[in-house]
Structure 1
Amino acid sequence: MDMVIRTAVPADYTELGEITARAYLADGHLDFNEDDAYLKVLRDVAGRAVLAEVLVAEHDGQVLGGVTFAAPGSPLADIAGPDEAEFRMLAVDHAARGRGVGEALVRGCIERARAIEGVTGLVLSTQRSMAGAHRIYVRLGFERTPERDWAPIEGLKLLTYRLKL
């Protein structure tokens, strides 16, 4: 599929926020309801765009998914060291799944990380239930880093991966 990976603009924020929220809700990755605080974070693309670069995958003017790329020093980087970039909240609209959107977004993060002088790795945290995303990470050369696994809240252990650049 012919798609463009680009920086999100304000006109994308609401749509991408809904794509991200729906992906987490529908896939059962978190046990929360419409009033959950993290769901508000997932929908707050405008807030993320102030602190990091939000990327979207677009095809024929339609946003298919997005991801948040946190360069070194970004307050949105949870596990990155000083010489690492990180990405978060990778989400693809259900109707666009299986078309390479997720992989294209991850490749966009890899390109951005490689373009930053001194960055030696790209890291991420993921849930055990996100098996489809795990396949993308492994295919692109990411390796599991179990020594960095962590729990942002009790009962939610996140797995970590790193790509050496």
Structure 2
Amino acid sequence: PGVAQVARAEVWLGTVTRGPFVVQVQAAGKLVPAESRWVAAPASGIVEAKYVEPGQTVARGAPLLRLSNPQVANAAQSALADYAAARADLLAKQQSQDSAVLAQRSSIEAMKVEVETAAMHLKADTTLAAQGIVPKFTYEDEKLKFQLEQQQLAFEY
């Protein structure tokens, strides 16, 4: 066991410096990814477009493929049509309700006018009945009308 000797022509001499140290290695073999992921779609479909290739780096949330499924598309269209119909029905019912409220308010206002009119007739007939100008029957009839109008207004209001 002696010291190994090397011929001077086989040795490179130089000054040590800092810098890039590039080593290229060529070898036969197969590259295997450190991590692989399986991706599943929530529904079956036909691949219409492929946005990435195998081995390509993908950002989270980036689309990989575009799938189409006629059944899902039809279901979505049907759901949109159902939504539009329900919305139109809601608007129609709201308008109908608004119209009913306005009609009710109008009816109440008309009843208020009828009560006021009946009150004026009763007041006039009370005075005239006291003087004997209006028969007692007419006075009682006006009194009854006034009471009925008040009851109807109280019921509606």
Whether these two folds match at TM > 0.5 is no
TM-score (normalised: structure 2): 0.18
Q: Which structure has the highest strand share of the two? A: 1
Structure having the higher Rg: 2
TM-score (normalised: structure 1): 0.17
